[in-house]
Amino acid sequence: MRLAGLAAAALLALLGPAHGQARDTLTVGITQFPATLHPMIDSMAAKTYVLHMARRPLTTYDKDWKLVCLLCVELPTFENGGARRVPLPDGKEGAEVTFRLPADAKWGDGTPVVAKDAILAWEVGKHPRSGVASGEGYRRILKVEARDEKTIVFTNDRVTFSYNDFSQFDLLPDHIERARFEADPETYRRRTAFDTDTTNPALYNGPYRIVAVQPGASIALETNPHWHGAKPHFRRIVVRVVENTAALEANLLSGSIDYVAGELGFTLDQALALEKRQGQRFDFNYVPSLLYEHIDLNQDVPAFKDRRVRQALLHAADREGLVRQLFEGKQPVARAFVNPRDSIFAADTPVYAFDLAKAQALLAEAGYDRVVDGIRQNAAGERLSFEFGTTAGNRIRETVQQVLQSQWRRAGIEVRIRNEPARVYFGETLRQRRFQMAMYAWFSSPESVPRTTLHSESIPTEANGWAGQNQPGIRSAAMDADIDAVERELDPAARKVIWARMQKLYAEEAWVLPLYYRSDPFVVPKWLAGIEPTGHQYYSSLRVEHWRPR
Amino acid sequence: MIRHAGARALQGLLVLFAASFAIYMLLGLMPGDPIDLMASGNPNITPEDVQRLRELHGLDRPLAARYADWLFALLQGDLGYSRIFSKPILATVGPYLANTAWLMLASFVLALAIGLPLGLLAASRRGGWLDAAINGFAFVSAAVPTFWLGLLLIVLFAVVLGWLPASALPPPGADGFWARAQALILPVATLALVEAGEYARHMRAAASEALAQDWIRTARAKGASPSRVLWGHVLRNALIPVATVAALGFGGLFSGALVTETIFAYPGMGKLIYDAILASDFNLALACLLMAALLVIMANFAADLVYAALDPRIGFSRGGGDEP
């Protein structure tokens, strides 16, 4: 197999187009097909990846994780007068944010992008029966007005530091979608042009527009003649879906696919193996992302109520060694829930170095000072033995699990692996907090407030219908207060102090065992340039117009 | 004949009804609902959103009531909408069904075209080296995992030789008949090679049995040539048990080509059913699985017709055919 791969590489290197040769089509491989192409209904990585090429939100985070203006003339701030505090009818204070759309921004049919497109998006987003998955962001907007054709005024129901972040606010073409929505909001999701007339150019305001869809297989995009920004280099981009990553690799090597998207392509171990065989043919770029891999400790488990036991688990785990051995150091060890690339990362967040002696001392201090059959127990005979679950079939997670199991065993802690299919694991076990230790990952945006994951109001219970994502069951008045405070703090310096306090508290309390930040492996042919991996949920495809042959 | 067809149609309807009930209940009893799954991957979804979406998709109602609604709508000819694709069921299934039809028919015909002559040949050379070689092929074909064979063919013909595309569907804009046919060669070959061995084994067994019958000796004694005996007498009789296996195999191809579809990035019914079940898209999963059940029923009915055509003693009148 390896010989075959090498032979193929040599052959294809001979047959492949020479550097500088004109290429007008780029074929990108991803592993998922979007079920719907409506930007607001359902959230799916593949849909976001494709739509980023064809549509532009008002704002986004760039590759340096800074909020920037995208479909606007200037990012509105309190400082430049684009935003201001306003009194609300209920006596509270809100934020009025004014966006000016680019004068030459047009939909793919030549119709100008105007303020009423934003008004329609808001109406759809906040409508309880429209089928939009996450309506909270739209409901927080009290009013959207058109000051003129190109000026939109949003009134937010509160003043938060993210008052001008409209990265998830997607405009809808009023001239196409309003009639469909108003006819019956409840069935709008089935009649939207995004799914019934997908190749209608009027749905797209980005550098490309969708021109063909093969359900389950591929989506073809061509340049949008009415795009107001920099002219894209490729006339046509075909996004092909190959769910099996071994087949994806074969497609890449055979030339059926030019480039595999880092965000939705190879697993890290597969990319590392491919690099060893094909390093001369492709550029391999491993970009740490906001996918935070961690282990939740259920705070209802008696042993986990003791902070020393939780900290001992961290000291007994050689996470640096694990990352070095399994991932060749390409995935940075996490200290807390904030990625080191994020501007709010606190460098003084406590680090738990691998220290077996310290782990054993902490466990002895916590009362687990007897060792029977290699497992520590306390005076009451309670053993340090826990169930440890993750998604069955996820090879990387299962390997990590086994490494940790053997490391903890040396500290006298037994973990019994109990994995389940993703559907059962996420759908019931995790959601209903029926676990002791659970390994999985979170994906968020830069400077994301962890209200749903760390605030005590977000603990899933039967009474609240198992809603919320605070699965470990963290109940901390200090954390709650900081989450409430950080959201309303507008001064970046003061906010950074709160963020640092939250990271320190999170690390010290060790409610959750941080593992590492996953890296997206970008496998780019040598002839392709301009791809800027971001590492967050606003993918590299949002800058598709800069992709070019070398 | 008409009476027989009517009886089989009635049986088929009862089977479909029972299958629909069983599938609906099993889907409903699976842990986690689709909204929970959606919420598990999106920290921004609030409890209010979860409740709102559950109501919107009718997931807050009892399972039996939802099934009754589905059945009532079906009786009025309404298969409903796919929840994940937000499209009518037929519009969703259509492209996948067409893809599967191409793959199924081509691989089925190719598997029969390879398996039946090989089985017949092996039976006619029983105990010889050709028999051993064909038997060896049949066992290897049964033992080789589809995903391994598929990947091997991709590496050989797409990566190393570069003769054929690695995906079973050409990209939009390059999807003319020849391009499609060329792209289908590898998946069709994968499925056909796996199936052909089974047909060869069954054909060999049935033909060996037929070759030992008195009427074959009579035919030979009457001066029929070996090829006339084999193709004119043995094949026809040996096809009866093989028809049953082929009918079952044909039905299985509809939903059972999941691995081949995944390896060759081919959007077919197997993959659609898998996705629909995982996403708890009740309408879509039900429609697809009932189509699969219907196809098995129809394939079995076709096998009945083939029996009658092959052996005039088998009839459709009450009490079976005429005694010889």
| pLDDT of residue A127 exceeding 80 | yes
Burial (0-12, 13-18, 19+ Cβ within 10 Å), A15 = exposed
Q: How many CB atoms lie within 10 A of CB A105?
A: 21
For A503, the domain range is 290-519
Domain count along chain A: 1
Asked if residue A90 belongs to a domain, the reply is no
Asked if residue A376 belongs to a domain, the reply is yes
A137 and B155 in contact by Cβ < 8 A? no
> For residues A157 and A141, is the Cβ–Cβ distance under 8 A?
yes
Q: What is the pLDDT of residue A115?
A: 97
Confidence band of B57 (pLDDT split at 50, 70, 90): confident
- Quick one: which H or E segment has residue A153? strand A151-156
> For residues A118 and A100, is the Cβ–Cβ distance under 8 A?
no
Q: What is the pLDDT of residue A330?
A: 92
Nearest to B66 by CA among B314, B282, B289: B282
Q: What is the pLDDT of residue B12?
A: 83
Q: A389 — alpha (psi -120 to 50), left (phi > 0) or beta?
A: beta
Confidence band of A537 (pLDDT split at 50, 70, 90): confident
B43 and A134 in contact by Cβ < 8 A? no
| pLDDT of residue A15 exceeding 50 | no
pTM: 0.85
- Quick one: which H or E segment has residue A236? strand A236-241
Asked if residue A89 belongs to a domain, the reply is no
Confidence band of A9 (pLDDT split at 50, 70, 90): very low
* CB-based contact, B77 to chain A, within 8 Å: no
* CB-based contact, B243 to chain A, within 8 Å: no
Confidence band of B229 (pLDDT split at 50, 70, 90): confident
Q: What is the pLDDT of residue A39?
A: 92
Quote the CA–CA distance of A525 and A6 in Å, as a whole number.
Answer: 16
Q: What is the pLDDT of residue B173?
A: 74
Determine the average pLDDT of the residues in A296-316: 97
Top mean-pLDDT range of A137-141, A354-358, B162-166? A354-358
Asked if residue A29 belongs to a domain, the reply is no
Nearest to B204 by CA among B302, B130, B149: B130
Give the amino acid at A347. A
Confidence band of B42 (pLDDT split at 50, 70, 90): low
Confidence band of B4 (pLDDT split at 50, 70, 90): confident
Nearest to A53 by CA among A540, A549, A440: A540
B172 and A466 in contact by Cβ < 8 A? no
Confidence band of A7 (pLDDT split at 50, 70, 90): very low
Give the amino acid at A519. S
Q: DSSP assignment, residue B8?
A: H
Strand partners, A239: A28, A219
Asked if residue A154 belongs to a domain, the reply is no
Determine the distance in angstroms separating the CA of A171 from the nearest CA of chain B, rounded to an integer: 20
Q: What is the pLDDT of residue B256?
A: 64
- Helix-then-strand count for chain A, H and E: 17, 20
Of A471-475, B196-200, B293-297, the poorest mean pLDDT is in B293-297
B7 three-state secondary structure: helix
What spatial distance separates the first Cα and last Cα of chain B, rounded to whole Å?
Answer: 20
Q: For residue range B7-37, what is the model confidence (pLDDT) as tens digits?
A: 878 888 888 889 889 988 888 887 777 777 6
Determine the average pLDDT of the residues in A49-77: 95
Of A103-112, A357-366, A535-544, B233-242, the poorest mean pLDDT is in B233-242
Is pLDDT larger for residue A369 or for residue A431?
A: A369
* CB-based contact, B303 to chain A, within 8 Å: no
- Quick one: which H or E segment has residue B12? helix B2-29
Place of tokens 């996918």: A291
Nearest to B269 by CA among B289, B283, B250: B289
> For residues A362 and A412, is the Cβ–Cβ distance under 8 A?
no
- Quick one: which H or E segment has residue B107? helix B89-124
Nearest to A40 by CA among A157, A202, A181: A181
CB neighbours of A359 closer than 8 A, spacing ≥ 6? A312, A313, A314, A315, A316, A411
Of A11-20, A498-507, B246-255, the poorest mean pLDDT is in A11-20
Of A409-423, B154-168, B305-319, the poorest mean pLDDT is in B305-319
What spatial distance separates the first Cα and last Cα of chain A, rounded to whole Å?
Answer: 31
Determine the average pLDDT of the residues in B213-230: 84
Q: Which residues in B lie closer than 8 A to residue A241 (C-beta atoms)?
A: 265
Q: What is the pLDDT of residue B255?
A: 65
**Between residues 185 and 224 of chain B, which touch chain A (CB distance below 8 Å)?**
none
Q: For residue range A448-488, what is the model confidence (pLDDT) as tens digits?
A: 899 889 999 989 888 877 778 899 999 999 999 999 999 99
| pLDDT of residue A497 exceeding 60 | yes
A43 and B266 in contact by Cβ < 8 A? no
| pLDDT of residue A345 exceeding 80 | yes
- Percentage with pLDDT > 70 across chain A: 96
How many Cα atoms occupy the beta-carbon half-sphere of A250 within 13 Å? 30
Q: Which residues in B lie closer than 8 A to residue A217 (C-beta atoms)?
A: 167, 169, 265-267
Asked if residue A311 belongs to a domain, the reply is yes
Find the CB nearest B271 among A42, A135, A216. A216
| pLDDT of residue B288 exceeding 80 | yes
> For residues A194 and A203, is the Cβ–Cβ distance under 8 A?
yes
| pLDDT of residue B144 exceeding 70 | yes
Burial (0-12, 13-18, 19+ Cβ within 10 Å), A23 = middle
* Cα A104 → chain centroid: 31
Interface mutation target, options A214, A260, A277, A536, chain B, most CBs of B under 10 Å: A214
Q: For residue range A215-244, what is the model confidence (pLDDT) as tens digits?
A: 888 999 999 999 999 999 999 999 999 988
B201 three-state secondary structure: helix
Q: What is the number of residues in chain B?
A: 324
**What mean pLDDT is reported for chain A?**
91
A·B CB contacts under 8 A: 198
Q: Which residues in A lie closer than 8 A to residue B96 (C-beta atoms)?
A: 215-216
Interface mutation target, options B33, B38, B40, B90, chain A, most CBs of A under 10 Å: B40
Determine the average pLDDT of the residues in A260-282: 91
**What mean pLDDT is reported for chain B?**
84
Q: Which residues in B lie closer than 8 A to residue A255 (C-beta atoms)?
A: 162
| pLDDT of residue B59 exceeding 90 | no
| pLDDT of residue B277 exceeding 90 | no
- Percentage with pLDDT > 90 across chain A: 76
Quote the CA–CA distance of B277 and B283 in Å, as a whole number.
Answer: 10
Read off the tokens for A164. 């001008």
Domain containing residue A386: CATH number: 3.10.105.10
Q: Which residues in B lie closer than 8 A to residue A254 (C-beta atoms)?
A: 154, 158-159, 162, 165-166
Q: Report all structural domains of chain B as residue ranges with CATH numbers, in order of start.
A: 2-88 (no CATH), 96-311 (1.10.3720.10)
Determine the average pLDDT of the residues in B102-110: 91
Asked if residue A147 belongs to a domain, the reply is no
A453 and B171 in contact by Cβ < 8 A? no
Confidence band of A398 (pLDDT split at 50, 70, 90): very high
| pLDDT of residue B175 exceeding 80 | no
Determine the distance in angstroms separating the CA of A11 from the nearest CA of chain B, rounded to an integer: 8
Determine the average pLDDT of the residues in A361-367: 96
Helices A245-254 and A2-15: crossing angle, nearest 10°? Answer: 40
Top mean-pLDDT range of A12-16, B182-186, B270-274, B318-322? B182-186
> For residues A28 and A258, is the Cβ–Cβ distance under 8 A?
yes
Asked if residue A152 belongs to a domain, the reply is no
Q: Which residue on chain B is closest to A197 by alpha carbon?
A: B87
Q: What is the number of residues in chain A?
A: 550
A62 vs A376, A541, A543, CA distance in Å? 49, 11, 9
